Structure 1
């Protein structure tokens, strides 16, 4: 064994098996076979690879199996990365796909430096993101349960005279309404019960999230982002939990590209063609960003709802948030005056809003922000 040799390893990971291929320096790619996904099998694989070279570089595709394999290999001293599946080079016309071929392709792409790695959060950040995603899923389930009840009532000609906003009056009306048919009434009660269960779940998760966020390492960023217009606790927690460490983006354009809000392009020769946004990256974070950008259609101002969120925040962050509001409100008016479609204008505002989020987030981590209880929605 050459002590200076590098072993390139490609891992095609599935729920119960991992197909392993490797190459030593510039040699031929060999298939090591399949192993189980148990910790013992992974430890044996690490020992076997170390017998073939001093430096071991391994990679596998990001997928439903998460980052446990990555963390275990790193703990074994293996230089492991997780690559983006959509950015792996593919030959035109290639129609055969097997685990063996995928592992070999990963080895060759890793050795050539053609793979794009994804960001792997720390264990703490991933745990907080799981809690934030559970809360987002519960709120989406609540929205769907409410929509099912509205559809049920509409199909039977039942209409609420006032605004059906799920406020006290609306809920009181629902509690008193009844159908003549016992079977239909039973279905109605089950729809209402489903909504009550989802409301209770959302409240439990919200309490847990507000307690956990105070101890989170990126809590200063959550506080700082709430000084911006259109970004309340829901948006701030969702954005930061998905983005993670903003310092990994060296320039705001990288964050914009990661969020998928940069224009697509197909240019050739002297012709340059730009299309709609790429919609690459994290769809949930992009959704939150665009929703926040809609608030910049109105004139710049600091509302009574925003004022409590400014308390205890350094002046440098508040001033930066005000600069963002002035610039983005002006940008929307300018685009609207030019006759741009409202959706196009809002996405353009969202793109620049991402740049301000990058700037304020990095500034918040460099300043000492107070630890305080999260403000109510």
Structure 2
């Protein structure tokens, strides 16, 4: 319940901040145009009738403003933009109107907040996302190189691509035309550079996963098939506070639940919503494919179990058996594999949640 006297809405941009304050006693509306400086915003808030509560939308400016206001003793809520309630007939959007709208929603408590990570959590999240960017850059660099060779009628047929043997084959390629030779060398150099950058990030993530506040969660998550150290660490830092979800709601947060349109007696379900964190959804979908094969714990899985607690090992083994049985059931029903895998990924998210909140 809103208890402060003044509710403030901030429409925050990189170079400007539109502010609107509503006094709950007099009903007065005060609007201002502020700079993004935290000190300037804080000094403006201190001149308002207190106590004051602030709300602004999550965006590219990050959580620095929220931390600065919290340190000054001002309640600050970071609002999820996709969950904001807006009038359907409103066709005029300005920064000032957005700030007033946020202030009114704050007073009514009609908003959905996002979880504000700590500085260490945000730094770890940035590291994981840098690795994800490197993965995408490497894929694109490899595609450019392979398609360049394909246009010249050169196709590798010596086995799996991007292995040591494939790399040796690439080094043997020679071109007479200087322009083509320079293009090939440029694309090949780009592949090597991005691969080296990805490997450096992998080493940094492995080191942090072995000795950080996320280590216990990562070791528990790695009890599931398809969840390696990189995947477990990414899940841990992207979700952050697992206790704000349940086994049922975690799938909705990641966007792995079916969309629905129901009216009256009709109920229509469509494809998955694909809302929330795209990175998490991709990791879980890729991990779900590992549960398709027959379940037989090997040395890699047992080595991961040795790092986890007995309760986590038992829980992980139960999850692996359950998900493999679900795959068998879908195959027996001749379910399309891509559809079945998404269903497995949704259930895998629930098993990850149960391991993340498991007490050591």
TM over 0.5: yes
Query: Deviations along 1:208-262, whole A, 9 cap, x unmatched?
Result: 222223332121111111111011122112211111121222x211211111111
For residues 246-265 of structure 1, the aligned pairs below 5 Å read 246-249=242-245, 251-265=246-260
Q: Is the 8 A contact 1:246 1:362 kept in 2?
A: yes
For residues 97-116 of structure 1, the aligned pairs below 5 Å read 97-116=93-112
**168, 177, 180: which one aligns with 2:176:** 180
1:71, CA displacement in angstroms? 0.6
For residues 198-277 of structure 1, the aligned pairs below 5 Å read 198-249=194-245, 251-277=246-272
Counterpart in the other structure of 1:120: 116
Task: Indicate whether 1:67 and 2:66 are aligned.
Answer: no
Query: Deviations along 1:251-298, whole A, 9 cap, x unmatched?
Result: 211211111111222112222222221111111101101110111111
Counterpart in the other structure of 2:16: 17
Q: Is the 8 A contact 2:22 2:28 kept in 1?
A: yes
**Structure 2, gaps ≥5 residues long:** none
Where do 4+ consecutive residues of structure 1 move more than 6 Å? none
Query: Deviations along 1:154-211, whole A, 9 cap, x unmatched?
Result: 0111111212421111101111111111110111011111111112211222222222
**183, 195, 202: which one aligns with 2:191:** 195
1:31, CA displacement in angstroms? 3.5
**Structure 1, gaps ≥5 residues long:** 368-377
Counterpart in the other structure of 1:371: none
**In 2, distance between residues paired with 1:33 and 1:84?**
23
**In 2, distance between residues paired with 1:26 and 1:256?**
42
RMSD: 1.5
Task: Indicate whether 1:361 and 2:356 are aligned.
Answer: yes
Counterpart in the other structure of 1:37: 36
* DSSP-derived class of the 1:266 partner: strand
**In 1, distance between residues paired with 2:133 and 2:169?**
27
**In 2, distance between residues paired with 1:31 and 1:58?**
14
* DSSP-derived class of the 1:118 partner: coil
- TM-score norm. by structure 1 comes to 0.91
* More deviation, 21-30/8-17: 21-30
Task: Indicate whether 1:299 and 2:298 are aligned.
Answer: no
Q: Is the 8 A contact 2:222 2:228 kept in 1?
A: yes
**330, 336, 344: which one aligns with 2:331:** 336
The alpha-carbon distance between structure 1 residues 31 and 24, as it changes in their structure 2 partners (threshold 3 A), is closer
Counterpart in the other structure of 1:289: 284
Task: Indicate whether 1:93 and 2:92 are aligned.
Answer: no
The alpha-carbon distance between structure 1 residues 165 and 304, as it changes in their structure 2 partners (threshold 3 A), is farther
* DSSP-derived class of the 1:120 partner: coil
Query: Deviations along 1:132-162, whole A, 9 cap, x unmatched?
Result: 1111211221111111100110011111121
Task: Indicate whether 1:325 and 2:320 are aligned.
Answer: yes
Q: Is the 8 A contact 2:131 2:198 kept in 1?
A: yes
Q: Is the 8 A contact 1:247 1:362 kept in 2?
A: yes
**In 2, distance between residues paired with 1:149 and 1:6?**
62
Task: Indicate whether 1:308 and 2:307 are aligned.
Answer: no
* DSSP-derived class of the 2:106 partner: helix
* DSSP-derived class of the 1:65 partner: coil
**In 1, distance between residues paired with 2:4 and 2:150?**
70
Counterpart in the other structure of 1:145: 141
Q: Is the 8 A contact 1:19 1:34 kept in 2?
A: yes
Q: Is the 8 A contact 1:46 1:73 kept in 2?
A: no
